[in-house]
Amino acid sequence: MESNLAGSDFPFAEGILSGNTALVCGASKGIGRACALMLARGGARVIACARTSSDLDSLIQEMHGEGHQAIELDLEDIGGVEKMVRDIGPIHILVNNSGGPPGGPLLENDLEDFDGPFRRHLHASHTLTRALVPDMESEGTGRIVNIISTSVREPIDNIGLSNTLRGAMASWAKSLSRELPPCITINNILPGFTDTDRLGSLAESISNRTGKPVKTVQDDWMSGVPIQRLIDPMETAAAVTWLCLPSSSGVRGVSLAVDGGRMRSI
């Protein structure tokens, strides 16, 4: 999807993140791709990681500025993650992001179903964070932002495995917020219903399981969203970028929803 927030509508001064290098995981599409574009617009040098190199090539061409890098990486391969992080040099901004697990009732999942999602989310994020924190501390600045879900506050029906995983990520991040050096922040973004391929696949999955037309599934979602539309991934990326600004150093250990007001909790 082409965002109407790109280009001249970029909400932060261009160059405000100059001198920073950002590692964005799951950057080939959706929210991850939007984060890479937005951080590049802000002046950061971006290292974009994903499993599909062809999508990353087009991302690099679309980015603002020069010096960006694409790395083909499967986050479930923790050995590969460890090798990659040894070779990339100091990172100032880390965006932990990866595709969510398949939907469905939690009781339909075997224990093995938890392995892959937990590796590419929690295990990969922990591996990257442990490896990058020493350089962040020596550089005097670090920003870690995790893309998780509103389900950490209000579990969503029919994605029980995802709810479980996102809750673990939120608790991991909150614990780290009490341990990291003062110059490093860690925060979470909780996306709501966002205009991505992932959401489209989820709607189709629910349609197949319930017999409801995809349009009905989507309308049911929108009935609970005050802004009455899907979130643009670039809106989510704007929130991520804000958390990475030098002026956001006092924001630490929070979970910020970008959900159009869908959640009812405070």
180 and 203 share a domain? Answer: no
Residue 173: the pLDDT is: 98
Instruction: Say whether both 222 and 105 belong to one domain.
Output: no
In a domain, 251, yes or no: yes
Contact 34, 11 (CB under 8 A): no
Q: Are residues 88 and 50 in the same domain?
A: yes
- Are 116 and 58 members of one domain? yes
**DSSP single-letter state for residue 55:** H
Full residue range of the structural domain in which residue 18 is found: 11-192+232-257
Mean confidence (pLDDT) of the chain: 91
Query: pLDDT by residue (tens digit) across 208-252?
Result: 777 888 887 777 778 888 998 989 999 999 999 999 999 999 999
C-alpha 89/C-alpha 109 separation (Å) is 39
pLDDT for 2:
39
Residue with tokens 């490896």: 131
| Residue 3 included in any domain | no
Residue 262 lies in a domain: no
Number of domains in the chain: 2
Same domain, 60 and 87: yes
Whether 263 maps to a domain, the answer reads: no
On whether residue 100 sits in a domain, the answer given is: yes
Q: Are residues 99 and 125 both part of a single domain?
A: yes
The pTM score is 0.91
Q: 208 and 91, same structural domain?
A: no
Closest CA to 27 of 65, 55, 4, 61: 55
What confidence score (pLDDT) does residue 196 get?
Answer: 81
Looking at residue 23, what is its pLDDT?
98
Answer yes or no: do 20 and 125 share one domain.
yes
Structure tokens at 245: 């600004």
Sign of CA dihedral 97, 102, 106, 112: negative
Q: What is the pLDDT of residue 222?
A: 80
Q: How high is the pLDDT of residue 213?
A: 87
Answer whether residue 43 is part of any domain.
Answer: yes
**How many other CB atoms are there within 10 angstroms of residue 257's CB atom?**
20
Least-confidence region, from 47-56, 70-79, 238-247, 253-262: 47-56
- Whether 16 and 48 map to the same domain: the answer is yes
Query: How far apart are the C-alpha atoms of 217 and 204, rounded to whole Å?
Result: 9
Region 43-63: what's the mean pLDDT? 93
Which residues are paired to 47 by β-bridges?
23, 69
- Are 237 and 162 found together in one domain? yes
63-99 pLDDT, tens per residue?
988 999 999 999 999 999 999 999 999 999 999 999 8
Mean per-residue pLDDT, 18-32: 96
Give the pLDDT of residue 7: 44
Pair 147, 252 in one domain: yes
CATH number at residue 177: 3.40.50.720
Nearest to 73 by CA among 56, 90, 93: 56
Distance, CA of 47 to CA of 22 (rounded, Å): 6
| DSSP assignment of 122-183 | IIHHHHHHHHHHHHHHHHT-EEEEEE--GGGTSPPTTBHHHHHHHHHHHHHHHHHHTTS-TT
The reply to whether 48 and 117 lie within a common domain is yes
* The pLDDT of residue 1: 35
Q: Supply the pLDDT for residue 13.
A: 61
Phi, psi of 72 (to 5 degrees): -80, 120
